[in-house]
Amino acid sequence: MPTRIAEENIEFTFGDRWVVEKYDSHADTQPFIGVVEHRKAVDFVGLHEHVAFLIEVKDYRGFRIANRPKTNGALNEAIAQKVHDTLAGLLLTHRRNPATRLWRESLNACRLRSGQVRVVLWLEDDALFRTTTPNGKSAAAIFTARLKQHLKWFPGKVLVVNRAFSARGLPDVTATDLPGAAGHGGPAVGKGRK
């Protein structure tokens, strides 16, 4: 049965072959997130066919000016910290809950070769994926390269996707806007604009 999780005014539907949890608010992870000063975590941790996914979601649609500094560097630093802290948290979460398949297999995937774990930034942005620089490079490609620089210590793949480009990085996942998406009124779902 598919798993549905809402974050940042987007509802994600993960297909039957996914085992996925909202990591940053899961009861098993709370002893490690927010308790230690400045500890952060990605939004979702999931497994799909023995590949672990650390997924962070940002919806900057409708807030382009306010979020421009974030897409120019601050977001990359925040993602790198979240990945680092999530990997440490997975170890501690697994030690406290060794029978939980998701924590055990995610941690095992992180220990294996680099193709077994991926960091995915799901970034909905008004212009990033449609903009090209004067030299013809897409702004999204440049952003992804900068994020990879911040995660050069990470052995796995690093991907930046959105609804238009999700198939290349997140198999069997769909996303649907909820009320308030794209900055157009309605209540915020998830943790808001971080």
118-146 pLDDT tens trace: 999 998 876 666 665 565 567 777 788 88
Q: How far apart, in whole angstroms, are the C-alpha atoms of residue 52 and residue 55?
A: 10
Q: Which amino acid is at 79?
A: I
Number of residues that make up the chain: 194
Rounded percentage of the chain residues whose pLDDT exceeds 90: 24
Q: Where are the domains of the chain?
A: 3-181
pTM: 0.83
- Residue 138 sits at the vertex; the CA angle it makes with 116 and 5, to the nearest 5 degrees, is 45
Burial of residue 10, with CB atoms counted within 10 A of its CB: 0-12 exposed, 13-18 middle, 19 or more buried: buried
**Coil, strand or helix: which one is 122?**
strand
- pLDDT tens digits, residue range 87-97? 888 888 888 88
